[in-house]
A and B are shown apart, each in its own frame.
Chain A
């Protein structure tokens, strides 16, 4: 299956951990001394161990046995390298298998994200689970069902088209019935999926398309589910890493004598890494505090010069610009012309479960439990850091306390593994919130410049667009414009940056949809009509109309009182196969405070797999998105964060959340796209556009109002 360009972007924008460890001498001899042998060993293809990339490259193995088994009691076990991070795919993938296999939802268990058990998977990002893994597991289950039907038909000596499957049984023409478990007797499925494997059309879905309740939901409301940070092993030690004082600091000198002298403490210094283990977390913290370390100051990055730096210090290849027509000429000739710059701050993912890992180095085999979106990526990082072959590294990802694109790297896993190797015991490391802020990575900051023109009737004629550093996702305009030049310019980012829910699609929609609003204003046209005039894509028009209809769109400023001004804003776009439109109604009071009254999101992502889960994702996207839209921003000075904790970094809370109205358009005639990210992109421009409608002030920086409206603008 072809992966879209967004995947490439995510790899470019993620920085891997920077530890370079000295190889353990025995490890070194083993991995390099036998390197050729390791490469030549044939991968096992018995359905037990198809984890290695060596077996199938990055392709998904076609053998049904790699993905699905049925035991003698009829319990169905499904294996997938995807991770459950709150997006509810444990449920949606189970629905897919239940549907095709004709088994009940409770009879199915998903084993997820275990490199020793599940087929290789590139990672859980880019909203790819529904369009790829869901389709794959459907085919697997359909092929398995065919084996079950064949076996039953043979057993009863009837033609295969005389038997049917349902509720975990095969039924015959003379009221025979046999359970799946009895048919398979625990044997592996010896069959493969092919291009010809047929699955149910969405219009015929009976399990998918329904609001099946979250699998294991009970474990979450009872506190029984164990996240990585809740796991423990016998004899486990607790770890603490000694952190540099600033970004880019390197170790000059370290003395671990005092720490090592503390009872039960093991201190490790390896390259730029310094860490300790101790029997309790408190002892580990005390030992880390007793380490005397001297660091360089680092380059001293500052937020004050951020946007100028990003625009000037471009580096790397952003790919060829997209060009069509003659944009320079069209810009000169346009009846209406709008030029503007937009900026977007770094923001933090702030998953409520910080990075954590439990590492166990036993019998030369490394096992690590960690919350990550890329179990096989983390396995590779561990292989690289410790010079180990894949066979000796196992990564297991328990259902994780969210990620939002923020847990692609294996930093905590590598740190815990290094300390486990030194202490000879299982080691657990849970990052503090402050560590999560400072030593994870951020959504890229960026600068976007746009020059655009339209004719008198309101048809766009020129569109020149440059994105510095925030990324190319959704950089192309969904509007029809004859003359375009669109380019992405990567920059030298002063802070470590990486993926984020929606990633650059948020910045690009913010800039584009704000700019579209300005053009409509300059043309004296209704903002919805102006957009529709320049849209040819019916699906985009459909969500835009749906959002406008639901919020009772009525053009410009609606109510002005002595206390506040009210405005409506709207924005729309296409990303990762999903179509979204967001409409906002808000008040700006005379003191410059912005209060959201209502948010409407109309969203269409093809055939809906789980309407309740989708609704939850759309609502969650709005809430998370309004943080970055209104007030979230990472601040830093002299290479240090100045707001890297929850008491300083404002997150959306109950009191920030307005009424959210979600309109889902179900298109059973269109294959399902992923939906965890795209609904986030419209909230910032819709809010900015509503503020403009209310006040006439155009805000061009995200966050829009970190401390209310700019002082000079709200009287």
Chain B
């Protein structure tokens, strides 16, 4: 298998990766970065959402071999040593979760949204987040959390 250099959370990893292997499994199985979740494997649920060069990407639909030289950020690197990211804070404060399995993908999608659109309308939030599923149904709380995180940036 070809060797690929992946920059994940600021660290470079030289890895043997099959050409078609989605990034999701490289992170989870090779790097033990399990915060990024498998939910459907077809880009429909968003549990695997992470950031590539700051933009949200469904890692189950993204080939790792194509990401050389790109910057990959996962949920594990969102908080600093001393503080949570404002979006993480907002999710925690609003308890915008139940089982929490969708939470990393939701947070990464929201971080991506807010970096592109710092003050989205509700319509823009719903449109951007509509590919992320919370089967526990905490959508209203997630909406509130994203609104709050957006205001915190003002």
Residues of A in contact with B (beta carbons under 8 Å apart): 85-88, 213-214, 217-218, 220-227, 229-230, 232, 238, 280-282, 350-354, 399-402, 404, 430, 432-433, 612-613, 616-617, 619-624, 645-647, 651-655, 657, 659-660
Contacts and interface: CB of A to CB of B under 8 A. Distances in A.
B33 to A, nearest CB: 8
23 contacts: A218-B84, A221-B84, A221-B100, A221-B103, A224-B35, A224-B76, A230-B28, A232-B32, A282-B18, A282-B21, A352-B37, A352-B99, A352-B135, A401-B99, A402-B98, A402-B99, A402-B101, A613-B95, A620-B136, A623-B134, A647-B44, A651-B135, A660-B140
A353 B45 contact: no
A227 B38 CA distance: 11
A433 B136 contact: no
User: Chain B at the A interface: mostly helix, strand, loop or mixed?
Assistant: loop
Given A616-B95, A616-B98, A619-B138, A352 B45 contact: yes
A221 B107 contact: yes
B126 interface: yes
Interface string B73-106: 0111011000010001001100101111111100
Most chain B CB inside 10 Å of its own CB: which residue of A88, A222, A624, A652: A222
Nearest to B45: A646
A85 B127 CA distance: 28
A653 B130 contact: yes
A229 B35 CA distance: 11
Contact of A86 (B25, B38, B136): B136
Contacts of A616: 95, 98, 138, 141
Most chain B CB inside 10 Å of its own CB: which residue of A430, A616, A621, A654: A654
A351 B141 CA distance: 19
A217 B92 contact: yes
B99 A400 contact: yes
Contacts of A399: 99-100
B120 interface: no
A647 B45 CA distance: 9
B129 interface: yes
User: Which bucket holds chain B's interface residue count?
Assistant: 35 or more
B107 to A, nearest CB: 6
B137 interface: yes
B118 interface: no
B55 to A, nearest CB: 19
A401 B101 contact: yes
Contact of B137 (A218, A221, A621): A621
Nearest to B88: A221
B138 to A, nearest CB: 6
B98 A620 contact: yes
Nearest to A646: B44
Nearest to A431: B38
Interface string B99-122: 111111001000000000000000
3 A-B pairs with least C-beta separation:
A223-B35, A623-B137, A86-B99
A331 to B, nearest CB: 40
Interface of B: 18, 21, 25, 28-29, 32, 34-42, 44-45, 47, 74-76, 78-79, 84, 88, 91-92, 95, 97-104, 107, 125-127, 129-143
B88 A222 contact: yes
Contacts of A652: 137, 139
A645 B42 contact: yes
A622 B79 contact: no
Contacts of A620: 98, 136-138
A432 B98 contact: no
B40 to A, nearest CB: 4
A175 to B, nearest CB: 38
B129 A619 contact: no
A402 B47 CA distance: 14
Contacts of B103: 220-221, 223
B99 to A, nearest CB: 3
Nearest to B137: A623
A221 B39 contact: no
Nearest to A351: B135
A353 B39 CA distance: 6
B12 to A, nearest CB: 21
A654 B130 contact: yes
B29 A622 contact: no
B88 A654 contact: no
Most chain A CB inside 10 Å of its own CB: which residue of B101, B103, B138: B101
Contacts of B129: 654
Contacts of A651: 133, 135
A126 to B, nearest CB: 18
A622 B137 contact: yes
Nearest to B143: A654
Contacts of A351: 99, 101, 135
Given A222-B76, A646-B44, A654-B126, 16 more contacts: A213-B95, A217-B95, A217-B97, A221-B97, A221-B104, A222-B88, A230-B28, A232-B32, A351-B99, A352-B101, A352-B102, A616-B98, A619-B138, A620-B136, A653-B130, A653-B131
A430 to B, nearest CB: 7
Contacts of A622: 137
Most chain B CB inside 10 Å of its own CB: which residue of A87, A620, A622, A660: A620
Contacts of A402: 98-99, 101, 135-136
A646 B135 contact: no
A681 B20 CA distance: 45
Contacts of B136: 86, 402, 620, 623-624
A652 B136 CA distance: 10
B141 A281 contact: no
B139 A623 contact: yes
Contact of B130 (A217, A226, A623, A655): A655
A213 to B, nearest CB: 7
Nearest to A676: B98
Contact of A282 (B25, B35, B88): B25
A225 B84 contact: no
A646 to B, nearest CB: 4
Nearest to B1: A282
A218 B42 contact: no
Contacts of B92: 213, 217-218, 221
A654 B101 contact: no
Contacts of B40: 433, 645-647
A230 B18 contact: no
Contacts of A623: 134, 136-140
A653 to B, nearest CB: 5
Contacts of B41: 432-433
A651 B2 CA distance: 38
Contacts of B88: 221-222
A181 B18 CA distance: 55
Contact of B37 (A86, A213, A214, A353): A353
B98 A86 contact: yes
